Amino acid sequence: TSNDSKPCRVAVVGAGLVGTLNAIYFAQRGWHVDLFELRKDMRLPEVKATQRGKSINLALSERGLSALRNSGLDLDNLILEAAVPLHARMVHTTAGLQMSQAYGKKDQHINAVDRARLNEELLTIAEEFSNINIHFEHNLMKADLDKGELQFFTGTGNPEKTYHTDFLVGADGAYSRTRTQLMRRIRMYYEQEYIDTAYCELTMLPIKNKNGEDEFALDPHHLHIWPRHTFMLIALPNPDKTFTCTLFMPFGMFDELNTKELVLDFFKREFKDSVPLIGEEKLVEEYFNNPRGSLITIKCKPYHYQDRAVIIGDAAHAMVPFYGQGMNCGFQDVQVLHSILDKHGVKAKLSADGKIHGLHQAMEEYSKERSEDAHAICDLAMYNHYEMRSAVTSPLYLARKKLEAVLHSMFPTAVIPLYTMVSFTTIRYSDAIKRWNRQTWWINATATASAVTALGIGAGLGLRYGRPLIDAMSKY
Ligand code: FAD
């Protein structure tokens, strides 16, 4: 019998941000999509009431926007409708001073978005496709990749269910079970690293303006940071005029600050302008009761097994959150994956032999290209941890930023600041690092030349602030 009229079936495991966008992309290719999610539907009122996700809000930038735009459904504008644009960092000193540091040119900004709303909007759009079936409360237990047989635990009635698929996409997050199943089948390179930093979220409510209306407690168009070298506090605005603050601190410090008095003393000493805005009582209540998260980097490769399975998003590459790129990178995975499927002429129908032609070669190319880029952004995210909690307060760092910005305005395509390449372009992450290394060489050369007239400051500047990244990135 001919399979010619049968649509290809894809099973996407994980209806988080990346899995749901990927389901939409596959549906638009004309594939039949089964989207499996272990949790209940997050849009149900009873689930909403109890929900506490990984982080309340996220910074969405060009890579993520580009993938939303490329869906052809105007998803970027839908999501931006309820986003708060952030044009700059606001650095808060211990003395309570605030210094604004622009992210890029005047019109360039990142966007604070509500994680739950973003996921809910994507689910609602996915549901509108007649060729997407969403299965909530389906926990992937096991996958026979060669047979395309997936076993789920559903917790209701007859709890174990088996489904068949032509292709499996694992978008089931950092602790991916799809990845574990893949590892049983291929010789996967795998490394993971936990950093000695925990995080805890605190809420900063709106204040009342003179007309009695709610107003943001801090300037809403900034990402606020209180950098203190070994720990830091950050705050991102939400559309409802609250801020979500995140305290990043070594686990041991969390353990030591174990009484109300110690916590308040610490906040008043280190982040004093934040205390009246959060409120002492709420600060203490949330510090002790909100969950504490850990931060992991995961690098692995390859991402696929023949033409049977692939992992994307955090399942393939978890990173520390300091570049605000985890979701952006996952969304870009989806765009890159589908452009490679297009390039290899992968169709929506099975061929007569029951295979999906071009898929195996497409997956080889995807794994190779994307693992290089994902490993690069994992390294950059780790580097930005140092930059955000420490370097931003250094005059040398600021001088280099200024010099780079001047060179960028004079030679816009030759010199592009690293932050701009990562957040405001879709240049491959691995290329961004290579370019940055080349630029640093030129900046050092310029600085060395100007040192003659600038009392040697320029040379010191280029060398000191080029070094840490160059050392870390020497493998690129
Ligand atoms: P997840 O969001 O983890 O979703 C995985 C889904 O799979 C979940 O719904 C889960 O329930 C489901 N699942 C898991 N196992 C199974 C199973 N066995 N069967 C079925 N379903 C399963 N990124 C940014 O771009 N910008 C930011 O500003 C930013 N800030 C962050 C701040 C913090 C504190 C943290 C921790 C992360 C941040 N990130 C940020 C990263 C971002 O949260 C992740 O990269 C993103 O959520 C990854 O999406 P995902 O869909 O791949 O995985």
Q: Is the CB of 378 under 6 A from ligand 1?
A: no
Q: From CA 308, how far away is CA 247, in angstroms rounded?
A: 41
Mean pLDDT value across residues 192-214: 95
Lowest mean pLDDT among 88-92, 201-205, 240-244, 468-472: 468-472
Distance 155 CA to ligand 1 centre (A): 23
Q: Is the CB of 459 under 6 A from ligand 1?
A: no
Q: Is the CB of 171 under 6 A from ligand 1?
A: yes
Task: For 159-291, list the strands marked E by DSSP.
Answer: 160-164, 167-170, 189-204, 207-208, 214-215, 222-227, 232-237, 243-249
Shortest-distance Cα residue to atom 1 of ligand 1: 173
Are 445 and 459 within 8 A, CB to CB?
no
pLDDT in tens, 354-379: 899 999 999 999 999 999 999 999 99
Instruction: Return the best residue to mutate from 54, 113, 120, 337 for the ligand 1 pocket (most ligand atoms within 8 A of CB).
Output: 54
Give the ranges where 279-352 is alpha helix by DSSP (H).
280-289, 326-343
Distance 16 CA to ligand 1 centre (A): 6
Q: Which single residue is written with the structure tokens 């002492």?
A: 280
Which atom in ligand 1 lies closest to the alpha carbon of residue 314? 52
Distance 330 CA to ligand 1 centre (A): 9
Distance 235 CA to ligand 1 centre (A): 20
Distance 170 CA to ligand 1 centre (A): 12
Are 162 and 143 within 8 A, CB to CB?
no
Q: From CA 233, how far away is CA 248, in angstroms rounded?
A: 6
pLDDT in tens, 22-67: 999 999 999 999 999 999 999 998 888 776 555 789 999 999 999 9
Q: Which ipTM did the prediction report?
A: 0.99
Are 309 and 291 within 8 A, CB to CB?
no
Are 360 and 91 within 8 A, CB to CB?
no
Instruction: Return the best residue to mutate from 89, 314, 422 for the ligand 1 pocket (most ligand atoms within 8 A of CB).
Output: 314
Decide: helix, strand or coil at residue 236: strand
Mean pLDDT value across residues 392-401: 82
Shortest-distance Cα residue to atom 26 of ligand 1: 324
Q: Is 293 exposed, middle or buried (0-12, 13-18, 19+ CB in 10 A)?
A: middle
C-alpha triplet 162, 168, 172: angle, nearest 5°: 90
Distance 200 CA to ligand 1 centre (A): 17
pLDDT band for 465, please (50, 70, 90 cuts): very low
Q: From CA 203, how far away is CA 279, in angstroms rounded?
A: 9
Q: How many C-alpha atoms does 391 have within 13 Å on its Cβ side?
A: 19
Q: Is the CB of 377 under 6 A from ligand 1?
A: no
Q: From CA 185, how far away is CA 271, in angstroms rounded?
A: 50
pTM of the model: 0.93
Distance 334 CA to ligand 1 centre (A): 14
pLDDT in tens, 55-99: 789 999 999 999 999 999 999 999 999 999 999 999 999 998 999
The token duo for 51 is 């929900």
Distance 263 CA to ligand 1 centre (A): 30
* pLDDT of amino acid 457: 54
Q: Is the CB of 358 under 6 A from ligand 1?
A: no
Distance 17 CA to ligand 1 centre (A): 7
* pLDDT of amino acid 51: 67
The token duo for 128 is 């509108």
If one compares 145 and 473, the residue with the highest pLDDT of the two is 145
Task: For 410-468, list the strands marked E by DSSP.
Answer: none
Mean pLDDT value across residues 254-274: 97
Instruction: Return the best residue to mutate from 41, 58, 385 for the ligand 1 pocket (most ligand atoms within 8 A of CB).
Output: 58
The token duo for 221 is 């168009």
The token duo for 165 is 């698929």
Please list, in sequence order, all residues whose beta carbon lies within 8 angstroms of the beta carbon of residue 45, skipping any fewer than 6 positions away: none
Shortest-distance Cα residue to atom 37 of ligand 1: 321
- Answer whether residue 463 shows pLDDT above 50: no
* pLDDT of amino acid 405: 86
Question: Which helix (H) or strand (E) element contains residue 438?
Answer: helix 429-451
CA distances from 237 to 146, 161, 323, 344, 400 (A): 47, 42, 17, 42, 28
**Dihedral over Cα of 431, 432, 435, 437: its sign:** negative
Give the ranges where 104-249 is alpha helix by DSSP (H).
115-127, 177-183
Q: Is the CB of 325 under 6 A from ligand 1?
A: yes
Q: Is the CB of 140 under 6 A from ligand 1?
A: yes
Q: From CA 34, how far away is CA 78, in angstroms rounded?
A: 24
Distance 214 CA to ligand 1 centre (A): 31
Q: Is the CB of 199 under 6 A from ligand 1?
A: yes
Gyration radius from the chain CA atoms? 24
Q: From CA 470, how far away is CA 460, in angstroms rounded?
A: 15
Q: Is the CB of 227 under 6 A from ligand 1?
A: no
Measure CA 339 to chain center: 21
Distance 103 CA to ligand 1 centre (A): 25
